[in-house]
Amino acid sequence: MVVLVVATASDPASIGPAAAFLAMPGWSPGPPIPVLSPSYLIPSISNPLRCSSLSMAWNSDEGMESFINGHVRLLKHEHSIIAEDDLDLRWQAATGEDVSEVIFLSKHTAVSNRPALTVHPIGVPHLREDEKPPQGGRPGWAALPNPRIGPWLRLMQTIAVDQGLVPEFEITLEATHHGPITNKPTMFVEIGSTEEYWGRQDAAQAIALVLWKGLGFEEENTVGSWEGNGEKVLLGIGGGHYVPRHMDIIIKDGVWVGHLLSGYSLPMEVPSQGNGKSSSEVGGMWKHSIKVSYDATKAAFPGGEVIAHLDQKSFKGWQKNAVMSYLQELNIRIGKPNDFI
């Protein structure tokens, strides 16, 4: 099993950390990975965890560079980071190596323009089948969240402080959003939030150190490997894009996190009557979004107890009633902050 780190030369916040990571000892060239002209059998929205089926149509004139270091493979392509689907399956098809997880390096943009280092799970579980994802992925789909997300947030905080990036840079989670499609546990690690910061060498070096230490190159102990000992896993529901109330819990040592569904991933239609006490009274994709995100989180943390944490202040009364009613229908426990610590 190998860890696949993916970078794109088209993004300075992606290729910068990749170059700093490759400057560390032990790397050797890997095989070129053919560019794929894929023909997808798209899963139905009722089964979004099912892997894509690939028709292997190789383009022999092009290839993606790869690099090898122990159990880690770094793959570099030239396209948008969200444009290349199924890279985990494509790596396995080309090399015979099974991929255990995928880590993407990318830029982050924000209206605030504030410099930031971020980490987050991916997916667009709130989109209907007839909607086109604006930034990759498949409508109604949630990737398996990488168990490293919580531990690496805390590792990133420590490294950023040690490297003098804090308080200039904010260290934060983001809610679940965008693609590309993957089939193994996945996370994005990003530098934000403007061109001035995407190319910052000190930020790139900090991300490279997160990779180096987090993947066990420094002390041979990886950070964030899930052992499945019945530990609790937070499923965040509600709040803004930077999920501050969930973040307050996850920044504490020992907390595991799966998907983080902000308000925009929970589209709810105002009930014509009633107060939402029954989830059936409230239409919209919010129930599907919760269900597939819960299923993906549970699959990514075998043996764990997935517990929902609600940003209750972000909901109107009828919305909170509907969400809590639906969680009870699914037998998903609702936790308070102390339940995760």
Domains of the chain: 1-36+62-225 (3.40.630.50), 228-340 (3.40.50.10700)
Q: Is the pLDDT of residue 223 over 70?
A: yes
Q: Which amino acid is at 308?
A: A
Amino acid in position 157: Q
Would you report the helix, strand and coil content of the chain in percent, each value rounded to 5?
A: 30, 25, 45
| Residue count (the chain) | 341
What is the pLDDT, as a whole number, of residue 280?
82
Q: How confident is the model at residue 281 (pLDDT cuts 50, 70, 90)?
A: confident
Question: In 101-200, which residue ranges form alpha helices assigned H by DSSP?
Answer: 149-162, 195-198
- Residue 95 C-alpha from the chain's centroid: 25
Cβ contact 243:173 at 8 Å: yes
User: For residue 238, with 0-12 CB atoms within 10 Å meaning exposed, 13-18 middle and 19 or more buried, which class applies?
Assistant: buried
Residue 278 confidence (pLDDT) above 90:
no
Residue 190 has pLDDT above 60, yes or no: yes
Mean pLDDT for 243-269 is 96
pLDDT at 192 over 90: yes
pLDDT tier for residue 143 given thresholds of 50, 70 and 90: very high
**What integer pLDDT is reported at residue 52 of this predicted model?**
43
Angle at 236 between CA 232 and CA 238, to 5 degrees: 155
What CA–CA distances, in Å, run from 82 to 79, 87, 118, 280?
A: 8, 11, 16, 35
Kindly list the distances between the CA atom of residue 311 and the CA atoms of 10, 240, 264, in Å, as whole numbers in the listed order. Answer: 36, 9, 13
Is the bond into 100 cis (omega within 30 degrees of 0)? Answer: no
Which residues contact residue 64 at a Cβ distance below 8 angstroms, ignoring those fewer than 6 apart?
32, 33, 34, 35, 75, 76, 77, 78
Confidence of residue 59 (pLDDT cuts 50, 70, 90): very low
Write out the H or E segment, with its range, that includes residue 207: helix 201-214
Average pLDDT over residues 207-223: 94
Local structure of residue 227 (DSSP, 8 states): -
Give yes or no for residue 50 having a pLDDT over 70: no
d(CA 235, CA 299): 13
Between 112 and 5, the more confident residue is 5
Query: What's the pLDDT band for 208 if we cut at 50, 70, 90?
Result: very high
Higher-pLDDT residue of 279 and 262 is 262
∠ CA 104-105-106 to the nearest 5 degrees?
115
pLDDT at 221: 87
pLDDT confidence tier of residue 57, bands split at 50, 70 and 90: very low
Residue range 155-185, pLDDT digits in tens: 999 999 999 999 999 999 999 999 999 999 9
Residue 264 gets which letter from DSSP?
Answer: G
Q: What is the pLDDT of residue 36?
A: 61
Amino acid at 129: E
Q: What is the per-residue burial (b if ≥16 Cβ within 10 Å, else e) of 136-156?
A: bbbbbbbbbbbbbbbbbbbbb
Where residue 288 falls among pLDDT bands split at 50, 70, 90? very high
Predicted confidence band of residue 44 (pLDDT cuts 50, 70, 90): very low
How close are the terminal C-alpha atoms of the chain, in Å? 31
**pLDDT tens, 66-108?**
999 999 999 999 999 999 999 999 999 999 999 999 999 999 9
Average pLDDT score, the chain: 91
Dihedral angle, C-alpha 63, 69, 70, 75, nearest 10 °:
-30
Give dist(CA 60, CA 31) in Å, integer. Answer: 13
Nearest C-alpha neighbor of 265 from the set 296, 295, 233, 240: 240
pLDDT beyond 50 at 202 = yes
pTM exceeding the 0.85 threshold for the entire prediction: yes
> Three-class SS of residue 20?
helix
